[in-house]
Amino acid sequence: MIPGSLDITLYRGDDFALIFRMKDSVSGAYIDLSGRTGRGHIRSSSAAATTLDTFAVTVMDQVAVPGGVTIALTPAQTAALPLEGGVYDIEIANVGRTWVRTPLAGSVIVLSEVTR
């Protein structure tokens, strides 16, 4: 699976949340993510060994929002990100990681806050 490309712009010091839904590329049906978990990292580059920060990734209730995933950062997390930004991706997997999908990846753009 090739990840969807989505560049994220964050306003430094603000909270951030994004909700997206995963669909099967052939049938177009939402993917049942029951029992799946997620993780996502921000790094200065894809080759960087250390993370700048980690998204909170929540697989949503599959009855209410089939295929739904939320990613989030707190105000403290966005305030600590460098203005140079970086890159990110999000992974969704089952227990044992025998089923792994990377639905989103892209750049992280950090805008400097004015009111501090």
CA distance readout (Å), 66 to 8, 16, 21, 32, 107: 23, 22, 7, 6, 26
- Residue 107, pLDDT score: 98
pLDDT tens sequence across 17-43? 999 999 998 999 999 999 999 999 999
Helix (H, G, I), strand (E, B) or coil at 99: coil
Say if residue 9's pLDDT is above 90: yes
- The closest alpha carbon to 56, from 31, 90, 95, 20, belongs to 90
For the chain, list the domains and their CATH numbers: 4-111 (2.60.40.10)
Q: What is the pTM of this model?
A: 0.92
